[in-house]
Amino acid sequence: MGERLDKFLASQGLGTRKEVGKLIRSGVVTVDGVSQRDPGAKVDLGRQQVAVEGRSVSYQEHLYIMMNKPAGVLSATEDRHAETVLDLLPEELRRRGLFPAGRLDKDTTGLMLITDDGDLAHRMLSPKKHVYKLYLAELDAPVTAEDVEAFQAGIHWAGESYAPGRLWTEEDPFRGYVEIREGRFHQVKRMFEARGKTVQQLKRLKIGGLALDDTLEEGECRLLTPEEVESIFG
């Protein structure tokens, strides 16, 4: 059967389906050394060699996608009643087995990693790996020195205990930066609630060493480079 040439090249980060279609029609794409100008041509990725301008394009076993998640979208693979992060993926990046690695609350925005690599997701989410997540919380009251100390000591609230985290502000005391390694349900909101504050907006900025690409608009996504994937644990 094989896969369409334009879909394969787009899935490997060479552009949108429209862009790679134009690239293919220009004659710079070869399959087994022979120029292929048909974007819909089928290629056997296990047997045939695809190249663009003489450079080999190897099939990547796993996809790693960064998304700037918008509010109102679920961190799920599917839902009958609400839009999910997978629904936002462009056609060229959709393939079987993709899932959001970790979750963000429906109204939380920012960095979301979507992949089909279960081992990486397990490593990233395991508390033993100490992969910290950085959030920006917009609050209804200013952050105090007592809040900073409480976060550093660990929060106990409504029968739950949350591991110590870092809290700081920069220019605006109503905007708190929170770094935690857990990712429990409503965790950041509940930690602030324990301090008598309400989170009005929450955005994830980093996972480990991987920072949200600030050129991505909400709902947009792109493939990660191998170096960016490694930076999660760096």
Tell me the CATH number at 219: 3.30.70.580
Among 57-61, 129-133, 200-204, the least confident range: 57-61
Whether 144 and 203 map to the same domain: the answer is yes
E strand or H helix that includes residue 162: strand 160-162
Same domain flag for 108 and 220: yes
- Taking the C-alpha atoms of residue 164 and residue 189, their distance in angstroms, rounded to an integer, is 15
Q: Is the pLDDT of residue 127 over 80?
A: no
Active-site residue, from 87, 105, 107, 213: 105
Same domain, 162 and 151: yes
CB 100 within 8 A of CB 77: yes
Q: What is the pLDDT of residue 183?
A: 78
**Per-residue pLDDT at 96 exceeds 80:** no
95 or 103, which is more confident: 103
- Domain match, 86 and 192 both: no
Which residue is associated with the tokens 């334009």?
A: 6
Q: Are residues 222 and 65 in contact, defined by beta-carbon separation less than 8 angstroms?
A: yes
Mean pLDDT of 42-59: 89
For residue 228, the model assigns a pLDDT of 95
Does the pLDDT value for residue 160 go beyond 80?
yes
Mean pLDDT for 24-42 is 95
120 and 213, same domain (yes or no):
yes
Q: At residue 35, does pLDDT exceed 80?
A: yes
Answer yes or no: do 10 and 22 share one domain.
Answer: yes
pLDDT beyond 80 at 92: no
What pLDDT sits at residue 57? 87
CA distance 168 to 210: 20
Regarding whether 140 and 202 lie in a shared domain, the answer is yes
pLDDT at position 164 over 90: yes
The total domain count for the chain is 3
| Catalytic status, residue 107 | no
3-state secondary structure of 122: helix
CA 217 to chain centre: 13
- Domain that residue 142 falls in: 132-207
Looking at residue 15, what is its pLDDT?
82
Looking at the structure, tell me whether residues 16 and 77 fall in a common domain: no
pTM reported for the whole predicted model: 0.80
Contact 113, 207 (CB under 8 A): yes
pLDDT of residue 195: 97
Question: Is 66 a residue whose pLDDT tops 80?
Answer: yes
CATH number for the domain spanning 35: value is: 3.10.290.10
First to last CA, the chain: 40
Q: Is the pLDDT of residue 1 over 90?
A: no
Please state the rounded mean pLDDT for residues 20-33.
Answer: 95
Of 57, 75, 98, the residue that ends a domain is 57
Task: Say whether pLDDT at 38 is over 90.
Answer: yes
What percent of the chain stands above pLDDT 70?
100
